[in-house]
Amino acid sequence: MSQQPFRVLVVDDTILYRTIVSEILTAIPGVEVVGTAIHGGVALEKVMELTPDLITLDVEMPVMDGLATLRKLQELKGKAKPWVLMVSSHTRQGAAVTLEALQLGAYDFITKPDGGEPQQSFEMLLGKFRPIIHALMTQKILRQTIHGLVPEVVAKSVVPAPNSPAAPSPLRRVDIVAIGISTGGPNALTELLPRLPADFPVPIVIVQHMPKLFTGVFAETLDSKCAIHVEEGKSGQPLQAATAYIAPGGRQMRVASGQGPSSYALEITDDPPENHCQPAVDYLFRSVASVFKGHALGIIMTGMGCDGTLGLRLMKRQGAQVIAQDQASCVVYGMPQEAVKAGVVDLVLPLSDIAAEIMRRVQ
C-alpha cells in the first residue's frame, strides 16, 4: 500500500509568501499542499475541512494573527491536531511572539529571509523546511504505527563496556555543565533551568539552535523564570557560577582559559557553520573537552540531526560525564539518539529528571 501524502495548509496574509511556501513544500517529495488561507479565521475553517498534518502559520496577520490562531487550534477536539510550524519575521518583536508560540504548542519555527535574490531566498527556505518536514513525516508514520499509543517514559542507564577509557568516574569533579539542544529546546530549557537553585555551583554553557535576535530574547525570557542568571554569551565574558550562557544566534561560542582573576571565559567567533548550524553544539563541546578535560558534564537534548555527537566523543575521551534526554520526552529524538548510538552517553533520562541528576553530579 502506498504511503499517504503529508498534507500541509499554508497560512499567510501575503499572496507572495503563500505562493513561495507552497512551491517550496511541493518541491519536497511526499508533500501535498491541500490549501492556503489569508488569516487564522479562514485557516480554522479549512483545518476542519481538510484535516492537514501540518499548518505553516505566519506570525503577523490581520483579523486573526498567529498566536490567536494557535490558541484556537489547541481547543480542537475530536480530531488529531495538526502540527504547527511558525513562519516568523527576523525581528526582535517577531522573536518574542515566536517564542510565545512555542510555549503555546507550536512544533518549531523558521524565519523569513532578509531580502536577497528570489532564487537564493527560495533555496534558503527550502533548506529550512526540508529537515523539519522529513522529521514530521517520520513522526506521522510512527504515530500511525502505534495507533496513538504513547510509550511509557523509562529512564535507563547506558553502561560503557568494562575497562572502557570512556567510563565516567563518579567522583570526578564537575566544573562546567554544557548543554546542546535544538527542536523542542525552548520548552525543554524552560522546564529544566528553573529547577536549578540560585546557588548552583558551576557555570552552564548552552547551544540552542536559533537565529540571531532570537537567542537574546530567549535568554531574557528564561532569566525572568529562573533562580540562576541566564544571558546571551558575549566574547571575553568570564564564566561565573549560577549563570547560564546561551550562544548567540548566527555566531559560534566556545570556552577558553581566562585572563586575570577569572579562570575561564567565553569566546564568540564568526567561524563557519558546522553540521549546517551556527551556533553548533560540536563547536562548543569540542572546546569544553579541550579546556575542562574530564571535569565537565555534557547534556544532549531534544533536536534533529547529529550535532553534538562528535564533541561528546571528545569530552568522553577526557573522562567527562554525559546525560541524554530520553525519546519519550523529546520533541525530536535525533541528537540524543545519535549520541546514544555512538556509545558516548552514561545515562538516559526523561526531561523531568535531568535537573535533579545534574545537581547530584555537580555537588
How does residue 363 score in pLDDT terms, banded at 50, 70 and 90?
confident
pLDDT tens readout for residues 102-156: 999 999 999 988 766 778 888 888 999 999 999 999 888 877 775 544 444 334 4
Question: Residue 254: beta bridge partners?
Answer: 267
Predicted confidence (pLDDT) at residue 45 exceeds the cutoff of 50: yes
Q: Any catalytic annotation for residue 53?
A: no
CATH number of 6-145: 3.40.50.2300
Task: Tell me how far apart the alpha carbons of residues 13 and 57 are, in angstroms, rounded to a whole number.
Answer: 10
What pLDDT sits at residue 162?
36
Please tell me which residue, 250 or 80, carries the higher pLDDT value. Answer: 250
Query: Looking at residue 141, what is its pLDDT?
Result: 85
255's enclosing H/E stretch is strand 252-257
Helix axes 185-192, 214-223, angle to 10 degrees: 20
pLDDT value of residue 81: 85
Which helix (H) or strand (E) segment holds residue 73: the answer is helix 66-74
What pLDDT does residue 172 have? Answer: 86
Q: Does residue 25 have a pLDDT over 80?
A: yes
Provide the grid cell at 162.
568494562
User: How far is residue 75's CA from residue 310's CA, in Å, rounded to a whole number?
Assistant: 42
Q: What share of the chain is helix, strand, coil (3-state, %, to 5)?
A: 35, 20, 40
User: pLDDT of 208-223, one tens digit each?
Assistant: 999 999 999 999 999 9
Catalytic residue among 53, 58, 307, 326: 307
Asked if 22 is an active-site residue, the reply is no
pTM across the whole model: 0.88
Q: What is the mean pLDDT of residues 226-238?
A: 97
Domain assignments of the chain as residue spans, ordered by start: 6-145, 156-362
Q: CB-side exposure of 286: number of CA atoms within 13 Å?
A: 10
> Phi/psi at 162 (nearest 5 deg)?
-55, 140
What's the pLDDT tens digit per position in 281-332? 999 999 999 999 999 999 999 999 999 999 999 999 999 999 999 999 999 9
Catalytic residue among 88, 108, 175, 182: 182
Which DSSP state fits 6? E
What is the overall mean pLDDT for the chain? 90
Annotated catalytic residue: which of 175, 209, 287, 326?
A: 209
Q: Is 326 in the active site?
A: no
The average pLDDT across 238-242 equals 96
**Whether the predicted pLDDT of 227 surpasses 70:** yes
CATH code for the structural domain at 156-362? 3.40.50.180
Topology agreement, domain 6-145 and domain 156-362: yes
Q: What is d(CA 189, CA 130) in angstroms, rounded to the nearest whole number?
A: 25
